[in-house]
Structure 1
Amino acid sequence: MNWLNAPEYWLGRLILERGIAAVYLLAFVAAARQFRALIGEHGLLPVPRFVARRSFKQSPSIFHVHYSDRFFAAVAWSGAALSAAMAGGLSGVVPLGLTVLLWSLLWVLYLSIVNVGQAWYSFGWESLLLEVGFLAIFLGNDHVAPPVLAMWLARLLLFRLEFGAGLIKLRGDSCWRDLTCLYYHHETQPMPGPLSWFFHHLPKPLHRIEAAGNHFAQLIVPFGLLAPQPVAGVAGAIIVVTQLWLVLSGNFAWLNWLTILLGCSVIELPTPRRPQLVEAPRWFAALVIAFAVLTLLLSYWPVRNMISRRQRMNMSFNPFHLVNTYGAFGSVGRIRREVVIEGTDEASITDQTVWKEYEFKGKPGPVRRLPRQWAPYHLRLDWLMWFAAISPQYAQSWFRPFMLRLLRNDPATLRLLHGNPFPDGPPHYVRAQLYRYRFTSPAELRREHAWWHRTLEASYLRPISLPD
């Protein structure tokens, strides 16, 4: 089995494993801190109601066996603790068999959460974490030489991730083909970051270079991953650099960071001394080979999707989220709209009623507040509020229950927000208004000290009270 060993990738494997564990840690902590209001027993989309309608075969999850908020919290915090241990190097001090079991346990726990998470877990980076997390099972530990098949499957995953994202752009919005999408994207992306205003105001020729660079990085460079070294390493490095550019320009949860980790795994990093690594035992080699065969068989569906003229973004072809298809921003909005939620404690509504705004942690709200950097942490409610502003249909299942929670000053729901404008008692009425937002110009920023300018467009939801 000597052909299976690739000791030259020991550092790339180390970075990949530790990084996957760190992302798992963030994902489990985010789940633990946000689940009660979103999918808890009294949440906006309760897990018990969901599992009553779906079979285990449709959505494999340990929560089909039992669900309670206490049990979910135990699962999430246990996953966080194990992830932290793996990120700290636990796999380097335990036997290979136990390493395999620990990575498998992390994958089962997070799969169980994603498969009952409904709309809140419908993002491509959830499937990517599960796919990369499953790959981690077959990477070995610090004492065994990295299996060349597993390292190549990481490379193929990176190819599928980048090339699929490039194709969806090329086939989608015409602004990607005429290189003008970046005129709008930094302003209209789901959750801008602290540097997004500055990226938006780059000269238009630089925006066109950004778009062209994106096409190069996603449509040309991935083929370099399939070449021998050092070409593959250069391709991986280019992908890492472009992903860091995206990290600076917006908040995309852990999508960019997982891509960066995969890119690092391809690079043959120079090291002064390589540790002594033993050959993988036969049982582990057999597992890796079986995993490679399974991956190649499951690749039929994402490959067929990529070559199809009706390519779909961020889709899983099986309930285990293995070998998925990826892609983002096949269309780019030209106008940014935001749903602004307000409440009043006045007993009746008049023209003089004072409405107080609910601020969110991440999504744009008050015009003078600079957007914050949240990624790689994920604010699930804030992201879905972006979709709600595009169309009320995206929020049909959860928006009205959310408003009713505000009318009760529900503690779990209020913890998802930046603050509560009614700390002494719940409001009598809440409403939602639809605003058009745009970044201010440099002159407006100097004059008004505001990062955004907003204009009221319409009522999104009329004032409602608990009797409604």
Structure 2
Amino acid sequence: MDWFTAPDYWLSRLVLQRALAAVYLVAFLSAALQFRALLGERGMLPIPQYVARISFRRAPSLFQLRYSDRFFAGTAWAGCAVSAALLAGVDALLPLWAAIALWLVPWALYLSIVNVGQTWYAFGWESLLLETGFLAAFLGNDEVAPPVPVLFLLRWILFRVEFGAGLIKLRGDACWRKLTCLYFHHETQPMPGPLSWFFHHLPKPLHRVEVAANHFTQLVVPFLLFTPQPIASAAAALMIVTQLWLVLSGNFSWLNWITIVLAVSALRLPATPPSAPSTPLWYEIVVLATAALLLFLSYHPVVNMVSRRQVMNRSFDPLHLVNTYGAFGSVSRVRYEVVVEGTSDEVAREDSDWREYEFKGKPGRLRHWPRQFAPYHLRLDWLMWFAALSPAYAGEWFGGLVERLLENDRATLRLLRRSPFPPDTPPRYVRARLFRYRYTSWRELRETGACWDRTYVREYLPPTRLARATERP
């Protein structure tokens, strides 16, 4: 079938596969370095307790069969190893069937992690990585030219990511329709980056232009992905530029990078394609059957996307094969932060020696300038942003965090930038207070060197200590 392959996209396929492998590597590395405190046997939301009440059918995972911290670590590091091998191009050295099988390995391993990750993995980019990773496994290697059905289904994912995000904005917060959301967003986004302060202080007319350009890119440009070249390439290039702008303005894990990976599927990069043998019949059958399945499963995401009650970031099947996406349907006008403090005093009083815990990514000390962490995902820092919006978002895990801080739990302290207490001297009490944060002005920055200013709002958690029966000597 001459229509089945697109030899001119061989370089696009190569770039897409290597970039996807890099995203996989970051995702598995994030899991390997953070899981013990979050999901481990003594974690805040332990996996063994979760799989005891959730069936394999609802959440297919290797950890439904067996769990130990060592097994999870082995799974995550195995994912890192396979991702690194794919990044190095090992799949090109294998037979076609083996290359497909190898690409399905990181998908299966990461699916096992996401399906038991609970709140820590309830982000849209987790499903987006799984959906993209499953489909990209059928792109093949140098034994065949890139298959057209897979290239167009990758564009279909990109369409749903961008168009769904555009619709949720128009249906959500009125500031998107008034073009004023970026008056606030750079200051109130979950995890600001090193340039976010400067983005926030751009002139308001430019913020309005940014929002209008965003609407155009998300609501008009996606349709151009399915037009002939070079229009499709131009549309993809515009989306890539927009995503790079977002990379500069904040820390959104690998959301922007996986979106760029998807956009590469529409780019026809100038290069002479290598000669490839004829496409095996079995491969055509597998690709067409997979495409038919994914189009069938697209029904619910499409219905959700056109619905007036559209929801963001929802998976409609336990394998995360086809999902719905969206971001920032509403924008906070004010930034709140939960500041966690501890004291070694025998009695907790307001004038006790309260010392602040410092997180890696979320705002804390006023002079501490935000750092760039994306595409690496600081899961605790992100959930702390949600906790500041409402205690209801933290009900499952915040008490566990406080308990582990009172124990000076080593795995938990590794998630922080700095603990104010020596490793062998845990605090006697821990409390949390809610503050309103705002960016300083240019004048305040020059005079104080602080990028943040904060105002006390209320008590978030009163001074808390371990029950005597569980205290360590």
TM-score tier, shorter chain, comes to over 0.9
For residue 376 of structure 1, report the CA deviation from its aligned partner. Answer: 0.3
For residue 263 of structure 1, report the CA deviation from its aligned partner. Answer: 1.0
Whole-angstrom distance in 1 between the partners of 2:257 and 2:349: 50
Q: Which residue number corresponds to residue 293 of structure 2?
A: 294
Q: Deviations over 1:106-129 (max 9, x none)?
A: 111000000000000000000000
The residue correspondences of 1:359-378 to structure 2 (distance < 5 A) are: 359-378=358-377
For residue 351 of structure 1, report the CA deviation from its aligned partner. Answer: 4.0
Percent of residue pairs identical: 64
Q: Deviations over 1:82-140 (max 9, x none)?
A: 00000110111111111111111111100000000000000000000000000111100
The residue correspondences of 1:302-317 to structure 2 (distance < 5 A) are: 302-317=301-316
The residue correspondences of 1:103-122 to structure 2 (distance < 5 A) are: 103-122=103-122
Whole-angstrom distance in 1 between the partners of 2:46 and 2:350: 38
5+ residue gaps, structure 1: none
The residue correspondences of 1:225-240 to structure 2 (distance < 5 A) are: 225-240=225-240
Is the Cα contact below 8 Å between 1:143 and 1:276 reproduced in 2? no
Q: Which residue number corresponds to residue 355 of structure 1?
A: 354
The residue correspondences of 1:242-391 to structure 2 (distance < 5 A) are: 242-271=242-271, 273-391=272-390
Is the Cα contact below 8 Å between 1:434 and 1:459 reproduced in 2? yes
For residue 274 of structure 1, report the CA deviation from its aligned partner. Answer: 2.2
Q: Which residue number corresponds to residue 139 of structure 2?
A: 139
Is the Cα contact below 8 Å between 1:91 and 1:142 reproduced in 2? no
Whole-angstrom distance in 2 between the partners of 1:106 and 1:205: 45
Instruction: Kindly provide the amino acid, as one letter, of the partner of residue 431 in structure 1.
Output: R
The residue correspondences of 1:195-234 to structure 2 (distance < 5 A) are: 195-234=195-234
Q: Deviations over 1:187-230 (max 9, x none)?
A: 00000000000000000000000000000000010011111111
For residue 367 of structure 1, report the CA deviation from its aligned partner. Answer: 0.6
Whole-angstrom distance in 2 between the partners of 1:358 and 1:446: 26
For residue 349 of structure 1, report the CA deviation from its aligned partner. Answer: 2.2
1:457 equivalenced with 2:443 (yes/no): no
For residue 277 of structure 1, report the CA deviation from its aligned partner. Answer: 2.2
For residue 261 of structure 1, report the CA deviation from its aligned partner. Answer: 1.2
Instruction: Calculate the TM-score normalised by the size of structure 1.
Output: 0.99
Instruction: Kindly provide the amino acid, as one letter, of the partner of residue 239 in structure 2.
Output: I
For residue 67 of structure 1, report the CA deviation from its aligned partner. Answer: 0.4
For residue 66 of structure 1, report the CA deviation from its aligned partner. Answer: 0.4
5+ residue gaps, structure 2: 469-473
Structure 1 pair 388/277, CA: closer, same or farther in 2 (3 Å)? same
For residue 421 of structure 1, report the CA deviation from its aligned partner. Answer: 0.8
Q: Which residue number corresponds to residue 418 of structure 1?
A: 417
Q: Which residue number corresponds to residue 471 of structure 2?
A: none
Q: How many residues align?
A: 467
Q: Deviations over 1:168-197 (max 9, x none)?
A: 001000000000000000000000000000
Instruction: Kindly provide the amino acid, as one letter, of the partner of residue 367 in structure 1.
Output: L
Whole-angstrom distance in 1 between the partners of 2:143 and 2:369: 47
Whole-angstrom distance in 2 between the partners of 1:372 and 1:135: 33
Q: Secondary structure at the match of 2:29?
A: helix
Whole-angstrom distance in 2 between the partners of 1:467 and 1:74: 35
For residue 347 of structure 1, report the CA deviation from its aligned partner. Answer: 1.2
Is the Cα contact below 8 Å between 1:15 and 1:265 reproduced in 2? no
Q: Secondary structure at the match of 1:225?
A: helix
Whole-angstrom distance in 1 between the partners of 2:435 and 2:30: 29
Instruction: Kindly provide the amino acid, as one letter, of the partner of residue 217 in structure 1.
Output: T
- What CA RMSD, in Å, does the superposition of the two structures yield over aligned residues? 0.9
Q: Secondary structure at the match of 1:418?
A: strand
1:79 equivalenced with 2:79 (yes/no): yes
Whole-angstrom distance in 1 between the partners of 2:398 and 2:157: 36
Q: Deviations over 1:120-173 (max 9, x none)?
A: 000000000000000111100133100011001111111111000000001000
Whole-angstrom distance in 2 between the partners of 1:340 and 1:47: 27
Q: Which residue number corresponds to residue 128 of structure 2?
A: 128
Whole-angstrom distance in 1 between the partners of 2:336 and 2:118: 24
Q: Secondary structure at the match of 1:294?
A: helix
Instruction: Kindly provide the amino acid, as one letter, of the partner of residue 115 in structure 1.
Output: N
Q: Which residue number corresponds to residue 405 of structure 1?
A: 404
Whole-angstrom distance in 1 between the partners of 2:113 and 2:50: 12
Q: Deviations over 1:346-377 (max 9, x none)?
A: 11123431110000000000010110100000
Q: Secondary structure at the match of 2:226?
A: coil
Instruction: Kindly provide the amino acid, as one letter, of the partner of residue 55 in structure 2.
Output: S
Whole-angstrom distance in 1 between the partners of 2:72 and 2:255: 24
Q: Secondary structure at the match of 1:138?
A: helix
Instruction: Calculate the TM-score normalised by the size of structure 2.
Output: 0.98
Q: Deviations over 1:236-288 (max 9, x none)?
A: 000000000000000000010011111122111112x3222223211111110
Q: Which residue number corresponds to residue 12 of structure 1?
A: 12
Whole-angstrom distance in 2 between the partners of 1:313 and 1:173: 14
- Of the structure 1 ranges 391-400 and 10-19, higher mean CA displacement relative to structure 2 is found in 10-19
Whole-angstrom distance in 2 between the partners of 1:143 and 1:16: 17
For residue 231 of structure 1, report the CA deviation from its aligned partner. Answer: 0.8
Whole-angstrom distance in 2 between the partners of 1:264 and 1:286: 25
Q: Which residue number corresponds to residue 65 of structure 1?
A: 65
Q: Deviations over 1:1-53 (max 9, x none)?
A: 33211111111111111111111101011001000000001100000000000
1:395 equivalenced with 2:412 (yes/no): no
Is the Cα contact below 8 Å between 1:5 and 1:279 reproduced in 2? no
Whole-angstrom distance in 2 between the partners of 1:259 and 1:351: 48
Q: Which residue number corresponds to residue 43 of structure 2?
A: 43
Q: Which residue number corresponds to residue 22 of structure 1?
A: 22
Instruction: Kindly provide the amino acid, as one letter, of the partner of residue 397 in structure 1.
Output: E
Whole-angstrom distance in 1 between the partners of 2:276 and 2:200: 49
Instruction: Kindly provide the amino acid, as one letter, of the partner of residue 306 in structure 1.
Output: M
Instruction: Kindly provide the amino acid, as one letter, of the partner of residue 309 in structure 1.
Output: R
